[in-house]
Structure 1
């Protein structure tokens, strides 16, 4: 099988996993939002922000280092496995011990217990993480994708039972995270570990190149995670818990929409670009194709969500979250611009420019929280959303100049051409959907009619303006029909 065919096959399974898990998460929130108060979602947003930052430190960049280097034998991987496990255990304990202090810092006593109970997610995840990394390095995505979906189903069931039957509030979300992490690692051991199980062996010598790369990766991961979660951390100080909950749900939806396609680009694109990193011309072509693919899927989705924000909020979250509609519109614009940057991360890691990624994120960490604080402090959640949009727009051209161009030589016209056709088609499809439903009352009928109209217009325009993307989608559809 050629590299292109393997990448398409990998994309098929990763797409399946990403869509299924994101769908489960959206459905989970749609069910439990009727039984959990906005304030509980605000507390859980802070909890998961802390755990997310810690999880990236615990992984120490070892997974990406294993994919990057070609000579990771079982003895070296065993050493790396025990290092990751030990780091995860230490960080889990650190969160438990620091939970009261963090809760006191935010002035939210309920936050302490949530942090302490969620902390073991780090340790549970690390138990099976390396097996997934090795499978992805070999572009074997079928079993990891299946495992992720099963773990998502288990988490969904636990969350719904906890919220509906036991009225557990935010702790239902904690139980879901624990159940999903435990299931994922158990399945990784059962289905992916054959021939890769760690030995009782520890030798730092052969592992040092991986740790050196990981040293920079963990710094970049930590700073990157702080940048991604900065709006939540700042929001915890400048917004009430209920307002943070109203902000966090549409924010999570905006991120999750991009995650579906961007996770495919990251998990498939990173190994593919790593394989061709020594041929700059091929690397540039792969990157530009990834950029066009992500934009072609993300742009119309975000535009349509912005147009039908009222219907989506009422459908997913219910009347108590009605105030989140305007926030969702703004966060859709933010998500659209933000999605452009995702393939850049794969490019940087593929060519080993970890230090460049680190310093780029340091610059963001210095500048962005102040903007978030200013917007949130003066204008509440609306101001925080406005700050997110403005800062993301201001970062777009510098990210091309200092990240993309030095790594693969893609010029600014080449970069912008990948975005132009999807953007024009998305704006036109959004306008067509709005005009077609302008006279209809708010509700499911308006959402359904608008979705059909917008989707039809977008595909028709893409056939004229974006033929390369349509060709890739056709190949992907054929792969779905081909047994493997």
Structure 2
């Protein structure tokens, strides 16, 4: 990790003679990009493996301690919280990270915008709580929705401090904070079940996971806000953030309307089954790609004027994500009928068919989710927003088509929509900028094709697998990765990625920094 180098007075000085020093203090040290990206990718991947493991343990343990109805109540609140949270950040953390040069006055202004908006949104949540409870016909939802305002305030207080740590590529510190927060949140949730075995245990864990990182961001960024004052030229940052918020607003419907519709028309039991299937597969997948944006967005932003290096950086990281994630998804889909009862318990067996359907969307999301890195780092927040609108409209249409058939119908329709959207996404991204759809096709085909072949092979080989569940699943995992790797070896781009993966092994980690960032 690069040394901090941020002056202790960087959050308070206002004299013109200190402005350049403050602006430089918000950036990584000169010449650190190559080292920071290489180490950051490795550190973030390790941290995310711990986070994903924690999430899976959370699903397993809490599913045994709490009932489907408890998860259903929380799932009813989740879309409301996600909708409100769209506006608290207003894309301003990404604006801070992406801007070529930024000063204390600009960061300070954005901090106070984040705080004011978060406080307002917490009040909106409290006022809307009875309406949400009436919508679902579930009175327990009211108190939980109002309490979630505390999370909104906690996130708002730490948004700009997080942005500064990300901009400075302090990836090791961010990784430690993320892992500690995830583990602390799980520990608090489990401990709370001994006090009150209800949905409040889940709330206690999520609140812990919101407050703890904010405290750590303040302690580690060493930047402190001053009194708010007018700043010239701030509109550029606000406009950029508005594009990000527009995407998030549209994407909200693509990610959350399924929960609302299932909860409304099929009740908390069906929603609980759907929510557990989603959380066990698609949520961990998003937790692989989303945190890597902390590494890739600031790195790509600093390479945006060098097309060859920009393209090389992205095309070295994206296939590695596919290599790691897709064989695991293929295994999980093929073994869903055995995996779900084994992991969650027999009472969740009905969730296995939903899990299987959502799994097909999971075969494409590790490819599609990182597209946001490209939009943001290239400053194309308007294009990002427009794609979000397209995604929202097609996803909502899919939800409505599948809704008459219950949670399973929604899951199948959503997976189909993901396959239909994918080629258009990469054609849209490739209309401008260093990357074309042909680049993505060449880099991704070995692993997407390999994962689908692995899925088919495991499915047909299931009767031949050992009777013991653990041995059968371990054999299926090994088979999935073996077939995916063998498929990749048939392509030049696949062989190139496999060589890169070997260079990133721990024993050779010092040599793993991307050469394009020299």
The separation in 2 between residues aligned to 1:480 and 1:205, in whole angstroms, is: 48
Q: Which moved more, 1:327-336 or 1:227-236?
A: 227-236
Structure 2 residue 472 is the aligned partner of structure 1 residue 446:
yes
Matches within 5 A, 1:63-74: 63-74=93-104
Aligned length: 479
Q: 1:45 touches 1:232 (CA, 8 Å); kept in 2? A: yes
2:145 corresponding residue in structure 1: 115
CA deviation vs aligned residue, 1:78-122 (integer Å, no higher than 9, x gap): 111111011111111111110110121222222212211222111
More displaced, 76-85 or 123-132? 123-132
Report the equivalent of 1:161. 191
Contact 2:155 2:214 in 1 (8 A): yes
Correspondence for 2:129 among 87, 91, 99: 99
1:422 aligned to 2:447?
Answer: yes
Equivalent of 2:224 in 167, 177, 197: 197
- CA displacement at 1:193 relative to structure 2: 2.5
Equivalent residues of 1:26, 1:316 under 8 A apart: no
Q: Is the 8 A contact 2:59 2:280 kept in 1?
A: no
Cα distance in 2 for partners of 1:287, 1:110 equals: 46
Q: Does 1:181 align with 2:210?
A: yes
> What stretches of structure 2 of length at least 5 have no aligned partner?
1-30, 514-518
Match of 1:474 among 483, 502, 514: 502
Distance 1:170 1:307 in 2: 32
Looking at structure 2, the residues matched to 346 and 283 of structure 1 have their Cα atoms a distance apart, in angstroms, of: 11
TM-score by length of 2: 0.87
Q: Which residue of 275, 278, 284 maps to 1:251?
A: 278
Tell whether 2:303 aligns with 1:273.
no
Please provide the CA RMSD for this pair: 2.3
Deviation at 1:21, TM superposition (A): 1.5
Structure 1 SS opposite 2:221: coil
**In structure 2, C-alpha distance between the alignment counterparts of 1:295 and 1:325, rounded to whole Å:** 24
Per the TM alignment, residue 27 of structure 1 is displaced from its structure 2 partner at its CA by: 0.5
Greater displacement, 243-252 / 103-112: 103-112
What's the offset of the Cα at 1:481? 5.0
Unaligned runs of 5+ in 1: none
Q: Name 2:23's counterpart in structure 1.
A: none
Quote the residue 1:45 is aligned against. 75
CA–CA distance in structure 1, aligned partners of residues 100 and 439 of structure 2: 32
Question: Residues 449, 224 of structure 1: CA spacing in aligned structure 2 closer, same or farther, 3 A cutoff?
Answer: same
Would the alpha carbon gap of residues 313 and 13 (structure 1) be closer, same or farther in structure 2, given more than 3 Å must change?
A: same
Q: Report Cα offsets for 1:130-152 as digits up to 9, x if no partner.
A: 22211211222000110111111
User: Alignment partner of 2:232: what SS?
Assistant: helix
> Does structure 1 retain, via aligned residues, the 8 Å contact 2:329–2:363?
yes
SS in 2 for 1:405: coil
TM-score, normalising length: structure 1: 0.92
Label 1:2 to 1:468 Cα distance change in 2 as closer, same or farther (>3 A): farther
Contact 2:263 2:270 in 1 (8 A): no
**Which residue pairs with 1:171 in the alignment?**
200
CA distance in 2, matches of 1:278, 1:231: 40
The offset of 1:432, in angstroms, is 4.8
Residue 58 of structure 2 corresponds to: 28
Q: 2: distance between equivalents of 1:316 and 1:199? A: 50
Q: 1:86 and 1:168, CA in 2 relative to 1: closer, same or farther beyond 3 A?
A: farther
- Distance in 2 between the 1:14 and 1:409 partners? 24
CA distance in 2, matches of 1:442, 1:386: 30
| Partner residue of 1:408 out of 412, 422, 434 | 434
Question: Once the 2 structures are TM-superposed, how far is the Cα of residue 406 of structure 1 from its aligned partner?
Answer: 2.6
